[in-house]
Amino acid sequence: MNAQVHALKPLDGASLFDPVPFKVYTQRDLDRIAPLARLSPEQRFEMKVVSSVLPFRVNQYVIDELIDWRQVPDDPIFQLTFPQRGMLAPEHYDRIAALLRAEAPKDELERAIDEVRHALNPHPADQMQMNMPVDDEGHRLDGMQHKYRETVLFFPSQGQTCHAYCTFCFRWAQFVGDKDLRIASSEASALHAYLRQHTEVTDLLVTGGDPMVMKTRHLRDYLEPLLQPEFDHIQTIRIGSKALTFWPHRFLGADDADDLMRLLAQLVESGKHVALMAHYNHWKELDTDAAQAAIRRVRATGVVIRAQGPLIAHINDDPAVWAKLWKMEVKLGIVPYYMFVERDTGARNYFEVPLVRAWEIYQQAIQQVSGLARTARGPSMSASPGKVEIQGVTEIAGEKVFVLRFIQGRNPDWVQRPFFAKYDDKATWLDQLVPAFGEEKWFWQDEYQSIRAQKLAT
């Protein structure tokens, strides 16, 4: 596909395009992960407790190539993939730890785990209630979300896992095996029927989990039909993925990697804009031969790689890390796209960063990079009313305020209208902010409440 990439050889002389076995570890295998032996028995027990509640999955590539074990437990990729005690509230941790120590009966343990999970806001921003579209007869369409006019999200059922799991994942509920908490569909025909009817939709975002865990033939079943003229209104196909980080061999030596490249090139050549929405948190994810070869190979198909990821305590709450990440992305031909605020779900207490600090980090990082890296927007909260960006902190008429704007809104008219929140140095999410200047409510509040009431009644 790309002669330059084919010529690349890793140090041991094997080709990056040789198949590499995918070796994965979950909670049951914690004791088999060799480098964990350097941790104390107590630390390993803590991991077992936390990973009973929150999903854990890592693979050999992450263990061998991304984590610097000399820096553990502070290594950012270790924090990104391995469970940490602070991820559970003390009362939740103590409850599950006591049951595990007492070797409690399975059903008692499962009940406790279930209760803790439900206390962790498994579906933030009303995803289950407010974003699922309905068909002509009023039935909810599983595996789809339609929040903003022009974009439909699709969750193919074969893509509801990832090559490894991020500890802070806001979609963690997808992975814990609880059917009530899953959003997924295997219905290619339902997706196509919905898109056929909704000609206002220009963008399809295929997401998960990670759609790149799917075999190419499944991805093809969903995407190839979109090349028919009846889908001309679908101009952009986005694929949300962290495979470039967690398993770059998916794009190199996997048995259907060549077929994947052909599919991507075919979509691009047919006139669609295809964007791989790559999830990156730290520049270390870009710093291996395999990661860089995979990036070059994807780019050679004409696909645009856009990078986005949340700002997370213990992983990347440092302007220098973001500046280096954005610079490396630009160097590798990736477009920096979003810095998100950690969402209000799961282990948020461990990972969240106050909004004012998030803005400072963004500002200090963006000042260090050239114009081409200043395409990164943020810090942005994907909240139920819309995507709200913190534009800054300032003083107006003697009052210290946050300046906010909608990047996306449930009503498109809200977008780009600055609004103001009272300064609060502890707030970490939109629902903790209150309007500035003594206003009783946000300019969008009444309308949002009525949209919400309408959706919840459906």
Nearest Cα residue to 383 out of 130, 45, 77: 130
Question: Counting contacts by CB under 6 A, is residue 183 touching ligand SF4?
Answer: no
Three-state DSSP at 88 gives coil
Which residue in this structure is represented by tokens 């390993």? 44
Q: Round to whole Å and give the CA distance between 9 and 289.
A: 9
209 belongs to the binding site for ligand SF4 (CB under 6 A): yes
**Residue 165 binding ligand SF4, by CB under 6 A:** yes
Distance between CA atoms of residues 265 and 107, nearest Å: 50
Our CB check for ligand SF4 shows the closer of 176 and 451 to be 176
Question: DSSP letters along 195-210, please?
Answer: HHH-TT--EEEE-SS-
Question: x/- site string to ligand SF4, residues 406 to 435, per CB under 6 A?
Answer: ------------------------------
| Alpha carbons 328 and 398: distance in angstroms, whole number | 41
Least distance from ligand SF4 to the Cβ atom of residue 155, Å: 10
Q: Least distance to ligand SF4 from the beta carbon of 458, Å?
A: 27
Q: Are the CB atoms for 330 and 357 separated by under 8 Å?
A: no
Residue nearest to ligand SF4 as judged by C-beta position: 169
Measure the N-to-C terminal CA separation of the chain; round to a whole number of Å: 49
Q: Does 47 bind ligand SF4 (CB under 6 A)?
A: no
In the chain, % helix, strand, coil (3-state, to 5) comes to 45, 20, 35
Question: Across the beta sheet with 399-409, what order do the strands follow?
Answer: 144-145, 151-154, 203-206, 236-241, 273-279, 304-311, 335-341, 377-382, 386-396, 399-409, 419-422
Instruction: Determine, following the binding rule CB under 6 A, whether residue 305 of this chain makes contact with ligand SF4.
Output: no
Is residue 58 a contact residue for ligand SF4 (CB under 6 A)?
no
Smallest gap, in angstroms, from Cβ of residue 83 to ligand SF4? 13
Q: Which of 152, 169, 234, 383 binds ligand SF4 (CB under 6 A)?
A: 169
Report the residue from 153, 166, 223, 369 that binds ligand SF4 according to the rule CB under 6 A: 166
Is the separation of the CB atoms in 95 and 49 below 8 Å? no
> Nearest approach, Cβ of 28 to ligand SF4 (angstroms)?
18
Is 204 or 421 the residue whose CB approaches ligand SF4 more closely?
A: 204
Q: What residues contact residue 66 under an 8 Å CB cut-off, 6+ apart? A: 77, 245, 284, 285, 288
Told to check if 352 binds ligand SF4 by CB under 6 A, we report no
User: Helix (H, G, I), strand (E, B), or coil: what is residue 255?
Assistant: coil
Q: Is 95 in the site for ligand SF4 (CB under 6 A)?
A: no
How many residues in the shown chain lie near ligand SF4 by CB under 6 A?
10
| Contact letters for ligand SF4, residues 210-249 (x by CB under 6 A) | x-------------------------------x-------
**162 near ligand SF4, rule: CB under 6 A:** yes
Position among 279, 284, 314, 343 found at the interface with ligand SF4 (CB under 6 A): 279
Residues lying near ligand SF4 in the complex (CB under 6 A) are found at: 162, 165-166, 169, 171, 208-210, 242, 279
